[in-house]
Structure 1
């Protein structure tokens, strides 16, 4: 299992605590220090069955600085969304947890955490 975290994020700390409590082996990826590649983010989006704008933190200052918030949410601009999010990983929602079966969730709610824990 892998979890993409920002250590300053309370939801990330809650998620790692839940994984610890469940006795799960997992790898922490501090995605701000070790950003995903375009291919890695695309793979996560596919597993989540979401579009990049669905997991973008558009209220972040960086979103306005790189013009992400103003990009159209359509197939024509999808690659640009992904590229900007990879360039500024603070724009990616967190925590993202991928279990050993390749299923991913955004672990911000107890229900999402239970979903990934139940699938391990």
Structure 2
């Protein structure tokens, strides 16, 4: 299975992640989830039981909803992320060796060893 990079093409961090993966020789299928939003079933497979680490804390919606002080259930997080994809931390790399949330160059490097 080819790794999938879930990203927003206008996001600088996402573009940096994509470039790092290319530099490491890791071919990925790119999925811009702002052009083709994630569906609840996809999020269900992607999110861990504690969705906290996958929440985009810099999102205006995150602040507006006061999510900093709330512990969301997986179902609540999915419902909110379906409504507003900006609530999903990006990029997300889904690889046979695991899921990496956010741009982590060191973690990407471990995928080629």
Q: Please say whether Structure 1 and Structure 2 have the same fold, judged by a TM-score greater than 0.5.
A: yes
Query: Structure 1's 90 and 109: CA in aligned 2 closer, same or farther, altered over 3 A?
Result: same
Counterparts of 1:1-120 in structure 2, within 5 Å, are 1-46=3-48, 51-65=50-64, 67=65, 69=67, 72-74=70-72, 77-99=73-95, 101=96, 103-118=98-113
CA RMSD in angstroms, aligned pairs only? 2.3
Q: Cα deviations across residues 9-35 of structure 1 (Å, max 9, x unaligned)?
A: 222111111121223221111111212
Unaligned runs of 5+ in 2: none
How far is the alpha carbon of 1:54 from its aligned partner? 1.8
Q: Count residues with an aligned counterpart.
A: 111
Find the aligned partners of 1:72 and 1:9 in 2 and give their Cα distance. 26
CA, structure 1 residues 40+117, in 2 after alignment: closer, same or farther (shift >3 Å)? farther
Runs of 4+ residues deviating >4 angstroms: none
- Name whichever structure is richer in helix by fraction: 1
- CA–CA distance in structure 2, aligned partners of residues 22 and 112 of structure 1: 12
**How far is 1:83 from its partner?**
0.7
